[in-house]
Structure 1
Amino acid sequence: MASERQMESGKPVIPVGILYSVSGEYGVIGREMLNGIMMSIEQVNASPEFDFTLAPIVRDPGGVLDRYHDHCHDLLYRHGVKHIVGCYTSASRKVILPLIEGANALLWHSARYEGFESSNNVIYLGAAPNQHVLPMLAWLLREHPGDIYHVGSNYVWSWEIDRITGEALAATGHRLTASRLVNLGDTAVEGIIRDIAERRPKVVLVTLVGQSAYRFYHAWREAAEHDPYLASDTAIKLSLTLCEAEVSLVGKAALEGYLVSSAWFQTVRNDANDRFLEQYRTRFGDAGSPSVDSVAAWTAGQFLARAVQRCGGEQVEAVRAAAWRDELDGPAGRVRIDPDNNHAWLTPRLARCHEGRLDVFWEGDAPIKPDPWLTWVDLDALGPGAS
């Protein structure tokens, strides 16, 4: 191995930066992501398959963008880290991306996101828009065609989802009737709930994150006690952010009936997922509830370790090329990294929240090639009658 760092075991030690906010605005998700990568690293270090040890250097930016920058700089230039696993929001990723590219390091980004990015220095393990946004819209326009009311957090994630949704709807003769964005952390959502009740949209799309989302779910339920429309199943409620950990946090009553699009749910049925869930529960007990973000972070650790083993070192160019040649049968099914754009091939899935579970009711036949720029998507094909 290229690294000169050694453990008592004699194995070379490769430092890995971990940059997740386990406190602050979206700390619940950050904790699940940290759990995923830490379990992955522990499994790698315990396996005789690998002739090195991964040494995590964990930092918690607390959801503060300036801290992401400072922690990333410290990891790169004080600790000499070449690989960082981290970031949940696109805002945090974009803050550290110039540092990552300037140091020629590799960011293993585990969150689903809005697309329209492809850096040579990022491996994107989360779903791109054609793997989670468009499958949801295609199903919706086949089964429940109509206009959409969008409420989201005011940053790049919701901006791009809003644009993609609007363009997809326009191609099928429908439209966004409203796009209401609130600042990150803002919990004054009662006015939006009242507006929804007055407009009575057929579909409500939620891309809120963190405390804003949690308050929205509760505010809807509180208002539903006095409004028959909000209490009924008339409005189809969709989420591109909701996950199992948040269902446990918010409570099942406020989330009953929500439809969620994601590349993984706990209710996915395959042997690898059964093993993952058993290992996760053994490791973390009742302290965690794995989400798609946990799985993506775990997958990042597996791809990183397998690539280092394959190429014999931690150099970014060699590790990236080795990752392109790998395929992993994991909890979310078969995953591979596309050499055209460094994004993962993933299988899209839809689930319905019922009695506190996100039950899968539709999934793609196979992993979809990532298209972060939506360069070959036919939006006209999303309408009724599309296959």
Structure 2
Amino acid sequence: MRRQELSVGLLFSQSGSYQAVSVAMHAGARLAIDEINATPDASVTINPVSIDPAGQLTGYIDGARTLLQDHGLSHVIGCYTSSSRKEVLPLFEKFDALLWYPSHYEGFETSENIVYSGAAPSQHIVPLTRHLLRNFGSRGWMVGSNYIWAWENNRILREAINAAGGSVVGERYFPVGETDLADVVRQIVADRPDFVFTTLIGQSGFVFLNMLCAAAKAAGIDLPREMPAASCSLSEAELPLLGESAAGHLSSSVYFSTIASPENRQFSQLWAARFAHLGQPSADAESAYVAVHLLARAAARAGSGDFEAVREAVRGLTFEAPQGRVTVDADNLHCWMRPRIGRSRSDGTFDILMEHPIAVRPDPYLIWASETEDSQSLDIRMIQ
């Protein structure tokens, strides 16, 4: 049987303020591409075309236009930030193409031109919110990068805190890449909230956590126990950059490198053989890996790389991913996945504290957020 040739764009920043995550995402995509191309009985051969937007919105726009218009591609795997995704979406609508978006995001969006292989808010911020309120208290401090990812996640958390009778002690936003954060760190330590929720990305996030750890230590605060820093984006790609400040932070995700499964052991071995210099595999790297496999399977099911044929073929498609079984929702093109909460370790990995026993439906608009505590979506199992 003759293999189908499919050219696919990779739109990941290899430089810029959040390059650690984007480089890992590019690596995850390449790992899947090489794995598929080396499989003798695979139906598809993927030919990647890579562009580096360098962390700039104009770079994403120009890169997407080059891939879709000049190269004539129908499929692009890429973008990390929601701002970059929103900037390029009109181009995918114009050129009848699919963006395979492999990043956790804030939700409140669906598009017939995007397949979302990263976690939706029902799979990251909602589980984390419940964990924080149940285990640490209801006085929260929120600090984030000044764009939609932070705004929406903080809004969800703020509403939950208010519903619990708690209070948002403080809330600040900074430009992506900002590192002048000493004043906000001093204020947080002075306020002594029950937890700190950070949606700072890239270099801003690294500097903030380093400063917060140092300031808490100087004030005699046991940060992990008394005032934990929590995030929906901190991953293995970033922990090595935190040095002595790496341990004790909470992260909500659908994937951690410490998941014990045959699929994750195989994925981790492949990663170590190729990308050990990038640290442990991360949620974003795994999500990019999943996106490539979903695309390849959808193209094989469709019998072509045609935009509409692949989009229809991917609905309801399943893949036994390193994180567990992933299923593309037939209605909203997001994925059913298992939420998990981890606590970072000094060795660059996470202890998994909680995980949902089965995959949770993707709920980008939080339509089902009011389900009762004994419902399927809230049945979270304690690990330790």
Same fold (TM over 0.5): yes
Letter in 2 for 1:301: V
2:327 corresponds to 1:333: no
Matches within 5 A, 1:314-353: 314-353=305-344
2:63 corresponds to 1:71: yes
Query: Using the alignment, how far apart are the partners of 2:48 and 2:316 within structure 1?
Result: 25
Of stretches 159-168 and 230-239 in structure 1, the one that deviates more from structure 2 is 230-239
Percent identity, please: 38
Query: Using the alignment, how far apart are the partners of 1:278 and 1:39 within structure 2?
Result: 11
By how many angstroms is 1:49 displaced? 2.5
Kept in 2: contact 1:171–1:380 (CA 8 A): no
What residue in structure 2 maps to residue 215 of structure 1?
A: 207
Matches within 5 A, 1:1-387: 11-229=3-221, 233-251=225-243, 253-356=244-347, 357-378=349-370
Letter in 2 for 1:97: L
Give unpaired runs (5+ residues) of structure 2.
Answer: 380-384
Of stretches 290-299 and 140-149 in structure 1, the one that deviates more from structure 2 is 140-149
Kept in 2: contact 1:168–1:379 (CA 8 A): no
Of stretches 235-244 and 15-24 in structure 1, the one that deviates more from structure 2 is 235-244
Query: Using the alignment, how far apart are the partners of 2:206 and 2:37 within structure 1?
Result: 37
Letter in 1 for 2:13: S
By how many angstroms is 1:239 displaced? 1.5
Kept in 1: contact 2:75–2:100 (CA 8 A): yes
By how many angstroms is 1:154 displaced? 0.6
By how many angstroms is 1:162 displaced? 1.0
SS, match of residue 218 in structure 2 = coil
Query: Using the alignment, how far apart are the partners of 1:287 and 1:350 within structure 2?
Result: 22
Query: For the structure 1 residues 34 and 232, does the alpha-carbon distance in structure 2 shift closer, same or farther, using more than 3 Å as the test?
Result: closer
- Could you report, residue by residue, the CA deviation over 1:284-338 in whole angstroms, capped at 9, with x for unpaired residues? 2334431000000000000000111111001112111211132111101010100
- Could you report, residue by residue, the CA deviation over 1:231-285 in whole angstroms, capped at 9, with x for unpaired residues? 673212211111011111212x213211111000011111100110011111223
What residue in structure 2 maps to residue 4 of structure 1?
A: none
Query: For the structure 1 residues 285 and 254, does the alpha-carbon distance in structure 2 shift closer, same or farther, using more than 3 Å as the test?
Result: closer
Query: Using the alignment, how far apart are the partners of 1:380 and 1:146 within structure 2?
Result: 20
Kept in 2: contact 1:220–1:230 (CA 8 A): no
By how many angstroms is 1:379 displaced? 7.5
Query: Using the alignment, how far apart are the partners of 1:310 and 1:258 within structure 2?
Result: 42
| Superposed CA RMSD | 1.8
What residue in structure 1 maps to residue 382 of structure 2?
A: none
By how many angstroms is 1:50 displaced? 2.3
Kept in 2: contact 1:197–1:230 (CA 8 A): no
By how many angstroms is 1:225 displaced? 4.5
By how many angstroms is 1:46 displaced? 1.1
Query: For the structure 1 residues 183 and 13, does the alpha-carbon distance in structure 2 shift closer, same or farther, using more than 3 Å as the test?
Result: same
TM-score, normalised by the number of residues in structure 2: 0.94
Kept in 2: contact 1:20–1:34 (CA 8 A): yes
Letter in 1 for 2:300: Q
Kept in 2: contact 1:32–1:289 (CA 8 A): no
By how many angstroms is 1:37 displaced? 0.4
Kept in 2: contact 1:223–1:230 (CA 8 A): no
Query: Using the alignment, how far apart are the partners of 2:278 and 2:125 within structure 1?
Result: 30
TM-score, normalised by the number of residues in structure 1: 0.93
Kept in 2: contact 1:16–1:56 (CA 8 A): yes
Higher RCO, 1 vs 2 (CA within 8 Å, ≥6 residues apart): 1
Equivalent residue pairs, number: 375
